[in-house]
C-alpha cells in the first residue's frame, strides 16, 4: 500500500466512493502506477497493460473528464498470476556486442512482442551491451494449443473465419540501407501484432535486399516459393524481378508504381493509386467545389507546372470558369478578389510558402488548393493551411490528431523507442496499414480476397479498393481529398 500514498487525497476519495473497502483492499494488491505520457489516451494505456478502459475508469473516476501529461493512474494488473507463471518459464540472456532485439528473437525463436512484454521499459533504442534480458521459453505444444483455443473463443465474427493455417509472408527490403525501410518494417510488425491478438496466425520471413543481385539470389534459391504474400521491392529492377518470379500467390508493391508488369505466376497488387487516374478524378471534384470562384494560379520564374495544373487549365476554360496566372516577384500589381481559390502551379515548398506570403493575413473569401507533399512541410505551414481552409489531393494522409493515430504513435514509441519521421508518406504507418489489410484479407478469404472487396478496413494513412487493370495485375483506386478547416479540424474524404 505504500505506493498509494503518493496519490492526491482527492484521487483516493474518488476511489473509496467508487469501490467498497473490501474490493479496494483486494485491488490495491494488484495495481501499479502509470504516469501519463505525451499523446497517450486512456484507450492506448488500457491496450498497453492488457486491461479495459472500464477497469481504468473504475479505479480512476476523475479520468473520465480528462487526462493530461504527468497525471498518475492506478492500473489494475489482474493478470499477476499469469505473469508469475510466465516468469517461471524465463531464462536469462546477456546482450553481446552487435546484437539487436530482433536478432535475439531469432536466436530463441520467439516473437518481438513477447520479448518486450518480458522486459518492461526495454526498447530497441536503449538496449545495451551487457544488459540482462528475460527470455520467455517457448510453450509446449499442449499449452500453446490451449491458449490458441482461448484466443479463438474471443475473436470477432470476421476474425473467426480466418484460415487455420498460418499466412506465409515474405518481406524483401534494404533493411541495412535507409531509415524509412526500417520504419516500414517496424510499422509492419505492429500491424502483425494487432492481427495475432485477433487470432490470425502468421509466418513471417524478412530478407535484406541491398541490391538486385541479392534479390536474384533469393529467387534462384527458392525463397519466394510457397509464400502467400510477398511485399517489397524499392526500384524498377527489383519490382520487375519479383513480378516475373514464380511460386508465390500475391506480390504487393508498396512504394514505387511500375506500369507494364507481366506476372509470371502469382498476382500483382499496386498499393499506390495511379497518378494519372488521381489527376483525372481530382479535376471534376475541383470544378464542382469551386464553381463560381475565380481561379488564380501562382508561379515564380522557372517553376514547372504539375500535370494537375496542365490538365486543369483547359477544363476550366471548357467549364467557363475564370482563371489567371500571377508571377510572384514581378512588378505587376497583385490583386486577389474576395471569391478566389489560389493554386500554385507546383508542389515546391518554397513556391507554396511564397504563395501564402502573397495572400498575407487575408482569409475572407480566399482559399488554397494544392498537393500531397504539403502535409510534410511542418507545423507553421500546416497552421497557414488551416487559416486558409486549404484542400489537397493525396494518396496518403495521416492525421496525428485522431484517437486511432494517437494510439498507434504511443504504441510505436513504446516498442521502438523513437518517433516516426516526418515524411510523405509516413513509412511506419504505411507498413502498419498494409500488414493489417493484406494479411487479414488473405487469412479471411484466401486467394480470392482481391475479388471479395468486403474486408473491413480502416487505414490510418491509406484507403484501399482493388480493381483489375490487366490479367493478373490489380491496383488501388482510392485516394483522399483533405481539407484543413479554419476551426482546427481536418476532414479526410475518400474518393
Q: Is 100 left (phi over 0), alpha (psi -120 to 50) or beta?
A: beta
Cell numbers standing for residue 167: 499466412
- CA distances for 333 relative to 329, 330, 357, angstroms: 10, 8, 15
Indicate the CATH number for domain 144-273+403-478. 3.40.50.2300
- Phi, psi (5° rounding) for residue 304? -100, 140
- Secondary structure (3-state) at 477: coil
Cell numbers standing for residue 448: 480470392
What ranges make up the beta strands (E) of 72-136? 72-76, 90-94, 132-136
Q: Tell me what pLDDT residue 404 has.
A: 85
Architecture of the 2-78 domain: Roll (3.10)
How many Cα atoms are found within 13 Å in the side-chain-facing hemisphere of 115?
Answer: 24
- The superfamily CATH assigns to domain 276-394 is Sec1/Munc18 (SM) protein, domain 1 (3.40.50.2060)
Note the helical H segments in 225-306.
236-244, 275-289
For domain 83-136, the question of CATH label 3.10.350.10 is answered with yes
CA nearest to 495, candidates 312, 268, 342, 283: 283
428/182 Cα distance (integer angstroms): 8
Q: Tell me what pLDDT residue 31 has.
A: 65
- The per-residue DSSP string of 129-193 comes to TT-EEEEEPPPPHHHHHHHHHHHHHHS-TTGGGS-SSPEEEEEEE-TTS-HHHHHHHHHHHHHHH
Q: What's the distance, CA 385 to chain centroid?
A: 23
- Rounded to two decimals, the pTM is 0.67
Bridge partners (DSSP) listed for residue 32 = 75
Residue burial 246-261, b: 16+ Cβ < 10 Å; e: rest: eebbbbbbbbebbeeb
Cell numbers standing for residue 57: 475508469
Is residue 31 a contact partner of residue 75, using CB atoms and an 8 Å limit? yes
How many Cα atoms are found within 13 Å in the side-chain-facing hemisphere of 318?
Answer: 8
352/355 Cα distance (integer angstroms): 5
How many Cα atoms are found within 13 Å in the side-chain-facing hemisphere of 195?
Answer: 29
Cis peptide bond prior to 294, omega within 30° of 0? no
How many CB atoms sit inside 10 A of residue 488's CB? 9
Residue-wise pLDDT tens for the chain (495 aa)?
333 333 333 333 333 333 333 333 333 335 677 888 766 778 778 777 778 777 787 777 677 767 877 787 878 765 433 433 434 468 888 888 777 777 787 778 787 767 877 877 676 667 788 888 888 875 443 344 443 333 333 333 333 344 458 999 999 999 887 789 999 999 999 999 888 887 889 999 999 999 999 999 999 999 999 999 999 999 999 999 999 999 999 999 999 888 888 888 789 999 998 999 999 999 999 999 999 999 999 999 999 999 999 999 999 999 999 899 999 987 655 788 889 999 999 999 999 999 999 998 876 789 999 999 999 998 999 999 999 999 999 999 999 888 889 889 988 988 888 889 888 899 999 999 999 999 989 988 888 888 765 554 668 999 988 889 888 899 999 999 999 999 999 999 988
- Sketch the domain layout of the chain as residue ranges: 2-78, 83-136, 144-273+403-478, 276-394
Which DSSP helix (H) or strand (E) runs through 112?
helix 112-118
Q: Tell me what pLDDT residue 305 has.
A: 95
CA nearest to 224, candidates 193, 188, 264: 264
Q: Are strands 391-394 and 480-484 parallel, antiparallel or unpaired?
A: antiparallel
5/21 Cα distance (integer angstroms): 16
- The per-residue DSSP string of 210-243 comes to SSHHHHHHHHHTTTTTT-SEEEE--SHHHHHHHH
Is residue 430 a contact partner of residue 187, using CB atoms and an 8 Å limit? yes
Domains 2-78 and 83-136 belong to one CATH topology: yes
Is residue 74 a contact partner of residue 19, using CB atoms and an 8 Å limit? no
Is residue 433 a contact partner of residue 458, using CB atoms and an 8 Å limit? no
Amino acid at each position: 500500500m505504500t505506493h498509494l500514498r503518493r496519490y492526491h487525497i482527492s484521487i483516493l476519495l474518488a476511489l473509496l466512493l467508487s469501490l467498497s473497502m473490501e474490493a479496494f483492499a483486494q485491488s490495491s494488491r494488484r495495481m501499479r502506477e502509470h504516469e501519463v505520457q505525451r499523446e497517450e489516451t486512456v484507450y492506448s494505456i488500457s491496450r498497453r497493460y492488457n486491461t479495459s478502459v472500464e477497469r481504468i475508469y473504475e479505479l480512476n473516476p476523475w479520468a473520465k473528464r480528462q487526462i493530461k501529461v504527468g497525471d498518475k493512474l492506478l492500473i489494475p494488473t489482474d493478470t499477476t498470476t499469469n505473469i508469475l507463471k510466465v516468469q517461471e518459464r524465463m531464462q536469462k540472456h546477456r546482450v553481446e556486442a552487435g546484437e539487436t532485439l530482433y536478432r535475439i528473437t531469432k536466436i530463441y525463436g520467439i516473437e518481438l512482442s513477447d520479448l518486450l512484454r518480458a522486459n518492461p521499459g526495454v526498447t530497441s533504442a536503449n538496449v545495451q551491451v551487457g544488459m540482462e534480458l528475460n527470455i520467455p521459453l517457448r510453450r509446449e505444444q499442449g499449452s500453446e494449443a490451449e491458449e490458441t483455443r482461448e484466443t479463438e473463443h474471443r475473436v470477432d465474427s470476421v476474425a473467426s473465419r480466418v484460415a487455420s493455417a498460418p499466412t506465409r509472408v515474405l518481406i524483401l527490403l534494404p533493411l541495412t540501407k535507409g531509415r524509412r525501410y526500417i520504419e516500414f518494417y517496424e510499422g509492419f510488425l505492429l500491424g502483425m501484432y494487432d492481427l495475432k491478438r485477433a487470432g490470425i496466425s502468421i509466418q513471417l520471413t524478412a530478407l535484406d535486399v541491398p541490391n538486385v543481385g541479392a534479390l536474384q539470389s533469393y529467387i534462384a534459391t527458392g525463397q519466394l516459393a510457397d509464400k502467400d504474400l510477398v511485399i517489397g521491392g524499392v526500384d524498377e529492377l527489383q519490382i520487375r524481378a519479383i513480378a516475373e518470379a514464380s511460386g508465390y500467390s500475391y506480390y504487393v508493391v508498396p512504394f514505387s508504381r511500375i506500369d507494364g508488369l507481366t506476372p509470371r505466376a502469382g498476382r500483382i497488387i499496386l498499393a499506390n493509386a495511379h497518378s494519372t487516374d488521381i489527376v483525372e478524378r481530382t479535376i471534376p471534384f475541383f470544378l464542382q467545389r469551386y464553381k463560381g470562384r475565380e481561379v488564380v494560379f501562382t508561379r515564380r520564374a522557372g517553376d514547372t507546372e504539375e500535370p494537375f495544373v496542365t490538365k486543369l487549365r483547359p477544363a476550366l476554360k471548357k467549364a467557363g470558369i475564370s482563371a489567371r496566372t500571377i508571377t510572384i516577384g514581378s512588378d505587376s500589381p497583385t490583386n486577389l478578389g474576395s471569391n478566389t481559390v489560389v493554386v500554385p502551379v507546383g508542389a515546391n515548398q518554397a513556391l507554396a510558402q511564397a504563395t501564402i506570403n502573397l495572400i498575407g493575413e487575408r482569409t475572407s473569401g480566399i482559399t488554397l488548393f494544392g498537393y500531397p507533399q504539403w502535409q510534410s512541410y511542418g507545423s507553421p505551414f500546416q497552421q497557414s493551411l488551416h487559416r486558409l481552409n486549404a484542400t489537397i489531393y493525396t494518396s496518403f494522409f495521416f492525421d496525428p490528431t485522431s484517437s486511432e493515430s494517437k494510439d498507434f504513435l504511443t504504441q510505436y514509441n513504446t516498442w521502438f523507442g523513437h518517433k516516426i519521421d516526418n515524411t510523405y508518406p509516413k513509412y511506419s504507418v504505411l507498413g502498419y496499414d498494409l500488414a493489417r489489410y493484406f494479411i487479414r484479407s488473405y487469412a479471411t478469404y484466401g486467394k480470392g480476397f482481391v475479388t471479395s472487396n468486403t474486408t473491413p478496413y480502416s487505414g490510418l494513412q491509406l484507403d484501399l479498393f482493388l480493381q483489375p487493370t490487366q490479367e493478373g495485375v490489380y491496383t488501388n483506386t482510392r485516394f483522399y481529398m483533405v481539407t484543413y478547416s479554419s476551426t482546427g479540424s481536418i476532414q479526410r474524404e475518400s474518393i
